[in-house]
Amino acid sequence: MSSAPKKQALFIASLITLWYSSNIGVILLNKFLLSNYGFRFPIFLTMCHMSACAAFSYVSIVFLKLVPLQLIKSRPQFIKIATLSVVFCASVVGGNVSLRYLPVSFNQAVGATTPFFTAVFAYLMTFKREAWVTYAALVPVVTGVIIASGGEPSFHLFGFIMCISATAARAFKSVLQGVLLSSEGEKLNSMNLLLYMSPIAVLVLLPSTLIMEPNVLEATLSLGREHKFMWLLLLVNSATAYAANLTNFLVTKHTSALTLQVLGNAKGAVAVVISILLFRNPVTVMGIGGYVITVLGVVAYGEAKRRFK
């Protein structure tokens, strides 16, 4: 192998490692803060994430020029981005709230149903139909989660509802993005979209935090005095949230759609294994079996979609 392909392979391997580390890291840190550390403020935590994304996105695009800056060209385009930002907020907050009540392993199992919700919203909003084989592949996706729910020792109904809602909102956002920003003049790459969505998300989350988590500052300051690494944890967690978005963009740019799909499926499984080892949450054969069925369904769905385009 010559020097150039070796360097390219090393670069892609490093990107994938960083992508895995940041994505799994932010989930585990969220769980640790919200469940094990006594930090009970998922909306404020999401606001910290969005603030970090806004600041780091600005530095990355305006100063470091990782991608060209794309300007908002019209008021309608801004309204569309603001709408996406609200949906994006709902998905992140829902996911963080669910981590207060559910183990990461079950959270990831439910999150794996994203393709099901994407297919439903794509059909309802764009009337886009897939081949019947593609829809058939979604049956094990849903069946697996039903089985995993029945076999989950730490099942919590409210946490489950929030997790399903977050998963549906994530799928809705991806379909809505395709609908709203469909014209060539309005399309933004994911890094520029994050640059504009993050500050809007902060403006939405600030009043929500003050109303729904009124004692957040007092409790956070108290935790900061009690645990000397509290502020460092929040800072690392917020920076990791941005790193997850950045590495997702870079991996998408430098690998094929199929590679990304395979890596994405494997990432969920890796997160489940690490979380079980770290948090020691009880698992059952039924729960693991349900998750495996869901992942196999997601793999079959991706393959069917690729073959029956």
| C-alpha span between 181 and 59 (Å, rounded) | 24
Residue 296's pLDDT is: 93
Question: pTM surpassing 0.85?
Answer: yes
Q: Is the pLDDT of residue 1 over 60?
A: no
- Give φ, ψ of 143 to 5 degrees: -60, -40
Residue 180's pLDDT is: 86
- pLDDT tens digits, residue range 167-186? 999 999 999 988 888 777 78
Cα–Cα distances in angstroms (integers) from residue 248 to residues 4, 17, 23, 252, 254, in the given order? 23, 11, 9, 6, 10
Residue 31's pLDDT is: 94
The Cα angle at residue 225 between residues 220 and 229, in degrees rounded to 5:
85
Q: How confident is the model at residue 131 (pLDDT cuts 50, 70, 90)?
A: confident
- pLDDT tens digits, residue range 33-76? 998 888 999 999 999 999 999 999 999 999 999 999 999 989 99
- pLDDT tens digits, residue range 232-268? 999 999 999 999 999 988 888 888 766 777 788 788 8
Q: Quickly list DSSP for 148-189.
A: HHHT-TT--HHHHHHHHHHHHHHHHHHHHHHHHT-STTT---
DSSP 102: S
Residue showing tokens 């949230």:
241
Residue 111's pLDDT is: 93
Mean pLDDT value of segment 10-28: 93
- Cβ-based burial of 67 (10 A; exposed 0-12, middle 13-18, buried ≥19): middle
Cα–Cα distances in angstroms (integers) from residue 234 to residues 25, 48, 49, 102, 227, in the given order? 13, 8, 9, 21, 12
Residue 91's pLDDT is: 96
- Cβ-based burial of 165 (10 A; exposed 0-12, middle 13-18, buried ≥19): middle
| C-alpha span between 280 and 256 (Å, rounded) | 35
Residue 265's pLDDT is: 77
- pLDDT tens digits, residue range 69-113? 999 989 999 999 999 999 999 999 999 999 999 999 999 999 999
Residues 98 and 21 sit within 8 Å (Cβ to Cβ): no
Q: Is the pLDDT of residue 306 over 60?
A: yes
Q: How confident is the model at residue 17 (pLDDT cuts 50, 70, 90)?
A: very high
| Mean pLDDT for the chain overall | 91
